[in-house]
Structure 1
């Protein structure tokens, strides 16, 4: 019948336990040391049953040993928890989540009043130049190393806004909105959608205060990006339509809203609308000529709109069409956009799996896994998890085992 408990098998391979027999021996040794119990043992027969279709539920002490050895509780390893079972450290996890949210909001919600100070207009250019550097660093580093730096700079901008006057204040509000939008993106890329939504809300507030219609439109597209990750197609469409209602928008903001609305349409299964929206955006691309420091992916990313189309096709289950598009656009992605290239490669690999080309899928995934290990982008890890699901038909074949070994390092760290 083959292995049925994929989660436990993947965890075993991540731990370097090549067979079920070696896994049973290693867990027995770990348990004897952890429990200080020389008689503790797990048989290879028990492990084989665990990797079968009905693994049951291990004794309480074995559940704790599994967690200590593999970093996951049994219900995360394919076991079905009995009614009323509560993970021992559930309260601790909730406490960590509360502390994390407090740290997320601290930079945006500094209580006032603050001491008044003179604010030189030259600071607007200073922060704009720093912003461009942060965009470049994000492409190289991924989210985790930048969140603290960018949110701290936002906090300084917020402090200066409270003292600035006139056009200086307006200019700082505009650049502050760009900083909060970047913090929101970094949290979204890190997989924390709660924090991302919070910072997207901050961006919308500052955009409204700035009275800048382009920033207001941009903030709505930012909120739509979170809705896309939440799988809420109608929410994405609502937000993008609200942005596009303003006829004053620069072409760049309209392009952003149209392509994001296409993602919403793909979530509702509407291919015709996907193509219409992306084609409309393509007609505006040559008119993008503003000097705004934010939202410039459509200018710096070769094949930007075809990347969006390929992503939408993949979401719609159009494997052949998506695979053809990815083959065309990926080679044009610059080396500087390393994290984005990793995401695209993972999507390309999934499209190859959907076209019944598992060997090609694994080969494409190799470079994506290397980038995922470096950047720790949750967005990329999510794409690789999608690839795992697409490759399930070949789970017991050599190519399926190759993929499991390839993904083991990044799955272990996720």
Structure 2
């Protein structure tokens, strides 16, 4: 009878351990060298029990887990074992501590307590921060979230300090630009995979937008909240927020209406409503030629080639319409400049998943290879999640050469996703 834990068996064979007895001996020697403990042992019967179970039971002790990871490059939950409740891999414990300290430090930028010393605030600062904002948008395309979160949130802190001293139109102008900065911090956290921090900053965006009394910014802030709900898979929540943004659509600039409708289409795709997806995106498309405002935020519909077809292709992929989505992604990617590395990587990952859904695994492999290279370079968690979706879509071929090749390509990106 063939072994039942295919993930562990595949890892063993990749390591060159042809039999389970050899694997036990090699892991024993590796553990003794790694831990400096001559008594560390993995018995052949233990390995046979691990590899012979499909239910993932038999979680190895902590020291053995570390040895397995060092020898095979994967933690037990990636080797077919079922993690016990509360298990946090050691490297993730350290990352969580670092991320929590960073979040607490950066969040303090939005929660400066008490009064500040009054100062003169020149109205020219509004233009200064707006021009900086456009630079941050461009930098985000090239750098990704991790290198920008600290910089943008610190500028938000400065804007908040100035708002407390400014008066009249200067104050309202700073509130408007402050909302745009908070929205960008929220997006950076969302791209980095921290949805809790993203939701916090989306809330800050909404508060500042309401304080500014700007109906366009208030609509924009609701769409920002809906983006987080989309990543959480909450279709009804997305629809609720977008409908609220569109309650008085005639008072909104076309750009905000387009953003709300395309995001509502994502909500519709999460609820399985293709007709609503097409209707919303088609209606948004009829407004594109009317976008002529000079607002410094929310300009993806002007900046992103094929913006609405990107949304349609993403929705089609979510609906399981593999062939239709793959055809759209081919058209979209032809127009995406090579300089937009992160967007291109996300689109490639979605294209590969669509190809897998269309039963074209070889094409999915080649497209996924290009996406994985960009994911390693940019460290985008959003892209890693898209590639994890691709990995799931390729499960029908996981034991075929194309599936094994894909697992090897994606390992540096999706391990632990």
User: Offset of 1:2 from its aligned partner?
Assistant: 6.7
User: Offset of 1:71 from its aligned partner?
Assistant: 7.5
Q: SS at 2:136's partner residue?
A: helix
Aligned to 1:116: 118
Aligned to 2:241: 239
Question: Retained in 1: the 8 A contact 2:15–2:72?
Answer: no
Name whichever of 336-345 and 56-65 sits farther off.
56-65
Question: Retained in 1: the 8 A contact 2:106–2:150?
Answer: no
Aligned to 1:364: 367
Question: Retained in 2: the 8 A contact 1:11–1:412?
Answer: no
Counting only pairs closer than 5 Å after superposition, residues 282-293 of structure 1 correspond to structure 2 as: 282-293=285-296
Question: Retained in 2: the 8 A contact 1:20–1:48?
Answer: no
CA shift digits 1:250-276 (9 cap, x unpaired): 000000000000000000000000000
Aligned to 1:78: 80
Q: SS at 2:122's partner residue?
A: coil
Q: Distance in 1 between matches of 2:360 and 2:35?
A: 47
User: Offset of 1:215 from its aligned partner?
Assistant: 0.3
CA shift digits 1:4-35 (9 cap, x unpaired): 5465568779xx73556576555323311343
* Structure 2 alignment gaps of length 5 or more: none
Q: Distance in 1 between matches of 2:395 and 2:360?
A: 13
CA shift digits 1:210-247 (9 cap, x unpaired): 01000000000000000000000000000000000122
Distance 1:8 1:215, change over 3 A: farther
Aligned to 2:58: 57
Aligned to 2:345: 342
Give the TM-score, by structure 2 length. 0.91
Aligned to 2:168: 166
Distance 1:399 1:72, change over 3 A: closer
Counting only pairs closer than 5 Å after superposition, residues 292-331 of structure 1 correspond to structure 2 as: 292-331=295-334
Aligned to 2:388: 385
Q: Distance in 2 between matches of 1:6 and 1:103?
A: 44
Counting only pairs closer than 5 Å after superposition, residues 222-233 of structure 1 correspond to structure 2 as: 222-233=224-235
Q: What RMSD over aligned residues (CA atoms) do the two structures have, in Å? A: 2.6
Aligned to 1:265: 268
Name whichever of 287-296 and 99-108 sits farther off.
99-108
User: Offset of 1:404 from its aligned partner?
Assistant: 1.0
Q: SS at 2:110's partner residue?
A: coil
* Structure 1 alignment gaps of length 5 or more: none
CA shift digits 1:264-305 (9 cap, x unpaired): 000000000000000000000000000111111111111110
Distance 1:93 1:122, change over 3 A: closer
Aligned to 1:155: 157
Figure out how many residues of one structure are paired with residues of the other and give that number.
Answer: 411
Q: 1:220 aligns with which of 195, 219, 222?
A: 222
Distance 1:25 1:300, change over 3 A: farther
Give the TM-score, by structure 1 length. 0.91
Distance 1:6 1:287, change over 3 A: farther
Aligned to 1:249: 252
User: Offset of 1:325 from its aligned partner?
Assistant: 0.8
Distance 1:76 1:342, change over 3 A: same
CA shift digits 1:45-87 (9 cap, x unpaired): 64465344245314524235335666765345432356x7766
Q: Distance in 2 between matches of 1:186 and 1:239?
A: 21
Question: Retained in 2: the 8 A contact 1:10–1:404?
Answer: no
Distance 1:116 1:11, change over 3 A: farther
Q: Distance in 1 between matches of 2:43 and 2:247?
A: 66
Q: Distance in 1 between matches of 2:60 and 2:341?
A: 45
Q: SS at 1:107's partner residue?
A: helix
Q: Distance in 1 between matches of 2:245 and 2:25?
A: 60
Aligned to 1:354: 357
Q: SS at 2:287's partner residue?
A: helix
Q: SS at 1:168's partner residue?
A: helix
User: Offset of 1:412 from its aligned partner?
Assistant: 4.8
